Amino acid sequence: MNRNARSALHQRRRNIDRRAKSTQAVEFFNVLTSPQWLDTMEAQLPEHRERLYPPTVTLSMFMRQVLDADGSCQNAVNGWAAQRAADGLSACSVRTGGYCRARQRLPLEMVGALVRQTGQALSSQAPTPWLWRGRAVKLVDGTGLSMPDTAQNQTRYPQPSTQANGVGFPLARLVVVMCLATGAALDAAIGPHQGKGSGELSLVRSLLGNFSTGDVMLADALYCNYFLIASLMAAGVDVLMAQNGSRTTDFRRGKSLGTRDHIVSWPKPATRPEWMTPEQYAQAPEEIVLREVKVGHRVLVTTLVNHRGVSKSDLSALYARRWNIELDLRNLKTTCAMDVLRCQTPQMNDKQLWVHLLAYNVIRLLMARAARHAGVEPRSLSFKHTVQLWGQWTSRGMSAHTDDVQLLTLIAQCKVGQRPGRIEPRMRKRRPKPFPWLKMQRAEARRHVERYGHAKKPK
């Protein structure tokens, strides 16, 4: 590295360090300027001038915005203006245009890289008592996300074909890989909700690089697929999944290990899937050896064939922990309000999704440090409590450093209840207001009102 390059790198580090210490408005960024993530930040930061919304400030404001109950850009800008005044800095405009343009300039690659690096760091640093038999268990599941009904969003993420034009919303499919021990988001893939290559199995194949030898994948019946399991076995990864409903389990076949517990060989499907090349199909094993066990009313499929080392009850207890990814998705979609993305373009919606995951990982980082400080597991702490406490803590100008003992003690005080087998009805009690349904894009409805006036209320 020549002298000019070293000087530029030194100047950038000084700017990052100065900004991280100058104001509490960038409290989220303070977490990401620790030595282990500073190089990633430096490598991904775009060339920029020292303007009102540099990338570091913009990213921190964006993360705070997605966690705030009022997630509007105006609220984010108002908070930045108020913080500047509290820090004795010059007054700035509270118009949102500059901040919105700064969000557009944020590199999506930088946000994605930070999500992956924070997730991997949290997962790799989990102490042995947090692991399952000393092994990392990674959860996989998918969900759907909607977004504003604009022409650009509809083109990239079309609404379901079963809905009439103007009635539905653009819909995206998201598949995430989560760490069971810490709850960290390791990686994610997003795609349209329908169409070729848009299924969860197609998306999860792009995430297999997150699994290493010795890991365990924990997933539901949708992922119980021959070729997916064969790929993971070839990489030295074990799996535990519920049996897919399209496959019949006959415990009279195979090698019996006990009551409703046997080892069986699955032959390779005779039909090559459309997504596979002939070469890939030929390289797939002719059969795979798996263990099938029935616990309760569910059949589980696993590559953990040593029944003396891993009993049926062990498999049942581990699969019961798959429910944690449902809670993680609820935390993202409900607590962090990610169920409906708010941007007008698919590019910005993709960026908002990754900012949600990054803010989620920052909260998980706080929870992991609080759990280590209190001598408990992170899964025993409340995610929502941590979000609320972090927001209250930083809004009062208190130290934003995540090693603050008092902050960690307060986070660890609120434990979640142990509710195995909990059942809740998927129903709503409160009725919606009696307004007619909007069956066209809102912009079109406005033009209709301008031309014909508001529809008369039914008598």
DSSP track, 253-318: SSEEEETTEEEEEEEPPSSPPTTS-HHHHHHS-SEEEEEEEEETTEEEEES---TTTS-HHHHHHH
The mean pLDDT value for 56-79 works out to: 90
**Which pLDDT value is given to residue 239?**
98
By C-alpha distance, which of 180, 82, 140, 121 is closest to 397? 82
Residue 33 has pLDDT above 60, yes or no: no
pLDDT > 80? residue 5: no
Of the chain, the percentage scoring pLDDT greater than 90 comes to 61
With a cut of 80, say whether residue 133 has pLDDT above it.
yes
Structure confidence at residue 206 (pLDDT): 95
Per-residue pLDDT for 370 more than 50?
yes
Q: What are phi and psi of 241, to 5 degrees?
A: -140, 160
Model pLDDT, residue 20: 44
| 214 φψ region: left (φ > 0), alpha (ψ -120 to 50), beta (else) | left
Q: What is the pLDDT of residue 230?
A: 97
pLDDT reported for residue 431: 83
Q: Tell me: pLDDT of 424 over 80.
A: no
28: pLDDT strictly greater than 60: no
Entry pTM: 0.87
Q: What is the pLDDT of residue 436?
A: 82
pLDDT at 207 over 50: yes
Residues 132-152 as b or e (16 or more Cβ within 10 Å = b): beeebbbbbbbbebbbbbbeb
Would you place residue 458 in the very low, low, confident or very high pLDDT band (cuts 50, 70, 90)? low
The average confidence (pLDDT) of the chain is: 87
**pLDDT tens, 169-178?**
999 999 999 9
Strand partners, 187: 177
Instruction: Decide if 92 contacts 78 (C-beta within 8 A).
Output: no
Degrees, nearest 5: CA angle 243-248-254: 90
Question: Residue 87's pLDDT is what?
Answer: 78
- At residue 138, the 3 state secondary structure works out as strand
| Exposed / middle / buried, residue 425 (Cβ in 10 Å: 0-12, 13-18, 19+) | exposed
Full DSSP string of 338-352: -SB---SSHHHHHHH
Q: Give the mean model confidence (pLDDT) for residues 295-313.
A: 94
Q: Report d(CA 394, CA 87) in Å as an integer.
A: 14
Domain chopping of the chain, boundaries? 3-106, 227-306
With a cut of 50, say whether residue 26 has pLDDT above it. no
d(CA 28, CA 387): 12
Average pLDDT over residues 257-266: 96
| Tokens encoding 451 | 């031309």
pLDDT score for 21: 45
Residue 47 to residues 2, 55, 198, Cα–Cα distance (Å): 19, 9, 35
Mean local confidence (pLDDT), 151-172: 89
DSSP string, 329-382: HHIIIIIS--SB---SSHHHHHHHHHHHHHHHHHHHHHHHHHHHHHTS-GGGB-
Is pLDDT of 329 > 50?
yes
The strand pairing partners of 175, in sequence order, are 142, 189
Condensed to tens digits (0 to 9), the pLDDT of residues 436-457 reads 888 888 888 899 899 988 877 7
pLDDT computed for residue 224 by the predictor: 96
Residues ≥6 apart with Cβ < 8 Å to 47: none
pLDDT of residue 36: 58
Complete edge-to-edge strand list for the sheet that includes strand 171-179: 185-192, 171-179, 137-146, 216-219, 238-242, 298-302, 287-295, 261-267, 255-258
- Rounded average pLDDT over 299-328: 95
